[in-house]
Structure 1
Amino acid sequence: MDKVRLGIIGSGFISNLHVNSLQRLPEAEVVAVASPTPGKARAFADEHGIPDAYESYEAILKRDDIDAITVGVPNDLHEEVVVAAAQAGKHVLCDKPLARSLPEGERMMAAVHAAGVKLVYGEMLCFAPKYVRAKKLIQEGALGKVFLVKQNEEHDGPHSPWFWDVNRSGGGALLDMGCHSIEFARWILDRPQVRSVQATMGRFMHPEKTRAEDHSIVVIEFENDVIAIAENSWAKTGGLDDRCEIYGTLGNTRADLVQGVGLRTHSKVGYGYAVEKAGSTVGWSFTGFEEEWTHGFPQEMQHFVNVVLGREEPMETGEDGLEVLRIIYAAYQSAGEGRRIEWPYTPPDVEKPVDLWLNA
């Protein structure tokens, strides 16, 4: 095999990023897209020059000429799609979070292992060029012994209505965006064992839209005496904020994926995709430049293609996605019960992670 032929499952925001990134790669060919909304897959295909469009993802999985899929569907559908893809022998990139709950994620991984296919967990921050350079600074010894990692990913609300429904999403800002911050910390520190998790959260801006939290702060203590702080929000106005800080005994570094590269812009009407979000770029904003590259999506897709071609092993695995979910469970339980959660940790049996906060 010298080229990977791919199907795209989903036609929303994240699938646009997947397709735009894959179409940069000479070893990748996107041949089909599936979306259940009548007409949406065809419109998506026409926009991106994709030959075939379906209203059922099963139609893609039945095709022998498709090697792999990317999954960009609501959280409550991840298990269904990934299990079906594995059983059809397709390699999978599943966008974050891995699943709506730990049991769903565990069933997904069982299906992948049974089928012998590859699954890459879709965490693009580990491919973002600035963050990759920050990790190299640590490896080069420029910062000494790292003792604190902070990562923030925040904005004023998700881009699709299903995120607000906890039965579909499984949680709020912590599950949606905290998964980025938590895995960033694990990755940049070479995935040390967790010692404890403590969190606080609240519903401040969107009580009429969701039962979930719209702002969360999580403190993770690792066994190598490093603290990670993950702050995530659906309640921060002014557009996307995505940045990190790393403190060591010999120095520190910080990286900003949005404001550090954006064009300082003022507009009375707003622009781009954000216009659909109630004009969130009205006034002053940081206009993104090469946003997909800056956030690591083409690099992530190149890695996925390399995995399918047998050139690399997954850098972000389903097991990483499961560990992120476990930490998220602990954070919800910590915020609900007002106490530190120690490791080793077995999460309580709940339908969805946010229940550990909502039901406390």
Structure 2
Amino acid sequence: MKKILQKLFSLVFLIGVISISTSAQNKPVHIGIDGLTHAHVHGLLQNINKVNAPVQIVGIAESNLDLAQRYSKQYGFDMSIVYSSVEEMIAKTKPEGVMAFNSIYEHLSTVEACLPKGIPVMVEKPLAVNMEHAEKMAKLSDKYKTAVLTNYETTWYASNHKVYDMVNKQHAVGDIRKVIICDGHEGPKEIGCNIEFLDWLTDPVLNGGGAVVDFGCYGANLMTWLMKNERPLSVSATLQQIKPDIYPKVDDEATIVVAYPKSQAIIQGSWNWPFGRKDMEVYGATGYVKALDADNISYRLSKGKVTSEKLPALPAPYNDPFQYFAAVIRGDVKVSAYDLSSLENNLIVVEILDAARESAKTGTIVNLKPNKEY
């Protein structure tokens, strides 16, 4: 009888431990928001009152109170969680992680406020406005052993991951020869972006450029991923102002050519497409595969026929930036240097964008220094 009771006690204890562990995993991660001026913040605010949401917003840093009040009415958060600075928000709310929805230029100040306190940061693409800012972030991440991640919409596309698997794991198309990546839309003003977003998105200092930064970064991120963080040999770019009356300070049309020893990428970022698009074509020595949108691919291997597939969504937490960030903070996901969100990948992205702007400015091909260390 004594042994039976001991076994029952052990079983009850085990169930309790499992229950506590499961409860801890299901408990939302406390997140702070730095800035509301990036329109991508809507994706997070839309989830603010959802049951079983992976994150709970405990504080918002936004000095534009009119904007904060507008979003407060739209999404139902209390203005008591809004603070005038990220430092005050951190001190008052003790977030476990911070997501930045401010200008690209301000990403550095978010990182400088958070990392010394051991608070991981996820910024909206791209990582930084230039390499000077990016290298400062990298040094802080290394010093404080705290993550700095970059969020791209295309990171969560099942199509892109299928392309990666076919190219790098199955070797289905042979060695990469040419990659064409197209991203953009009709233009931020044309699609109705709010004035707070437009004010910095069309500013050469706060955004670092126009379409070259806004949409060129997608292609640089994906190509760096496909090439497993190999730095390119050279970068050349042509930037244009097709609509100077709408975007007088920045480019609205960008074509970037990124060269490697035996392959190249043509990255086309534009505010002049007739419709929104985010697609990629990878041509190898023996076949090709195309990511047509988030869920659909087509491919032709060797001498076979063209085949199309509709893909299911990626499994959680790899299908959503908020679930992913929460999983990283909990320690459930370890970020690899080769991941799309990684600091290592995105340092190369910023280097490519810097070189693209330099190439367009000088009219020359920019050769990257070999063996660069960040």
TM-score, normalising length from structure 1? 0.78
Do 1:164 and 1:209's aligned partners in 2 also have CA atoms closer than 8 Å?
yes
1:150 aligns with 2:187: no
Q: Could you say which residue in structure 2 is the equivalent of 1:312?
A: 333
In structure 1, the residue corresponding to 2:242 is in which secondary structure?
A: coil
TM-aligned CA deviation for residue 231 of structure 1: 0.5
| Runs of 4+ with >4 A deviation | 21-26, 258-261
Q: What per-residue deviation string (whole Å, max 9, x for no partner) do you get for residues 235-255 of structure 1?
A: 23x331211111122221212
CA-CA distance at 1:69 after TM superposition: 0.9
Hey, what does 1:67 align to over in structure 2?
Answer: 96
Compared with structure 1, are the counterparts of its residues 70 and 96 closer, same or farther at alpha carbon in structure 2 (3 Å cutoff)?
A: same
Q: Is the CA contact (8 Å cut-off) linking 2:235 and 2:365 kept in structure 1? A: yes
| Displacement after TM superposition at 1:233 (Å) | 0.9
**CA deviation profile, 1:60-100 (whole Å, cap 9, x unmatched):** 21135410010010122111122111133311101112122
Q: Secondary structure at the match of 1:83?
A: helix
Number of the residue aligned with 2:146: 117
Q: Distance in 2 between matches of 1:332 and 1:50?
A: 40
Indicate the RMSD between aligned Cα atoms, in angstroms: 2.8
The residue number in structure 2 matching 1:188 is 226
Q: Decide whether aligned partners of structure 1 residues 180 and 306 sit closer, same or farther in structure 2, where only a CA change above 3 A counts.
A: same
Q: Please, which of 131, 135, 143 is the counterpart of residue 102 of structure 1?
A: 131
The yes-or-no answer on 1:167 pairing with 2:194 is no
Quote the Cα distance in structure 2 between the aligned partners of 1:251 and 1:137. Answer: 11
Residue number among 79, 83, 87 corresponding to 2:108 in the alignment: 79
Give, in angstroms, the shift of residue 48 of structure 1: 3.3
Q: Partner of 1:28 in structure 2?
A: 55
- Go from structure 1 to structure 2 and tell me whether the alpha carbon gap of 1:130 and 1:67 turns closer, same or farther (over 3 Å shift): same
- With over 3 angstroms needed to count, the CA separation of the structure-2 counterparts of 1:11 and 1:87, relative to structure 1, is same
**Based on CA coordinates, which of the two structures has the bigger radius of gyration?**
2
Partner Cα distance (1:205, 1:71) in 2: 29
Is contact 1:89-1:117 (8 Å) kept? yes
Match status 1:14 vs 2:51: no
Q: By how many angstroms is 1:220 displaced? A: 0.8
1:293-346 Cα offsets, whole Å, 9 max, x none, are 9xx995232222121111222232223222111111111222222222223169
> Corresponding residue for 1:279?
none
Label 1:188 to 1:20 Cα distance change in 2 as closer, same or farther (>3 A): farther
Please point out which of 321, 341, 359 is paired with 1:334.
Answer: 359
The equivalent of 2:306 in structure 1 is: none
Task: Give the unaligned 5+ runs of structure 2.
Answer: 1-23, 298-312
Does 2:286 align with 1:250?
yes
Q: Distance in 2 between matches of 1:92 and 1:24?
A: 24
Contact 2:157/2:294, CA 8 A, preserved across alignment: no
User: Contact (CA 8 Å) 1:45, 1:53: kept in 2 or not?
Assistant: no
2:249 to 190, 211, 220: 211
* Aligned length in residues: 313
1:234 is the counterpart of 2:271:
yes
Judge conservation of contact 1:41–1:54 (CA < 8 Å) in 2: no
Q: Which moved more, 1:197-206 or 1:54-63?
A: 54-63
SS of the equivalent of 1:141 reads coil
Structure 2 distance, partners of 1:298, 1:14, is 16
Report the equivalent of 1:93: 122
Query: For 2:205, what is the secondary structure of its paired residue?
Result: helix
Do the aligned partners of 1:17 and 1:297 also contact (CA within 8 Å) in 2?
no
Q: Classify the secondary structure of the residue corresponding to 1:242.
A: strand
Deviation (angstroms), 1:109 = 2.3
SS at structure 2 position matched to 1:152: strand
Q: Aligned partners of 1:206, 1:157: CA distance in 2, in Å?
A: 12
Question: Is the contact between residue 199 and residue 332 of structure 1 (CA under 8 Å) also seen in structure 2?
Answer: yes
Counterpart Cα distance in 2 of 1:206 and 1:241 = 22
Q: Percent identity?
A: 21
Q: TM-score, normalised by structure 2?
A: 0.75
- Residues 25 and 341 (structure 1), Cα distance of their counterparts in 2 relative to 1, 3 Å cut: farther
Q: Deviations over 1:127-152 (max 9, x none)?
A: 21111111122122222222111111
Please tell me whether the aligned partners of residues 61 and 90 of structure 1 are also in contact (alpha carbons under 8 angstroms).
Answer: no
Aligned match for 1:48, one of 45, 56, 75: 75
Q: For structure 1, which runs of at least 5 residues remain unmatched after alignment? A: 262-291, 348-360
**Higher mean C-alpha deviation, range 14-23 or range 58-67:** 14-23
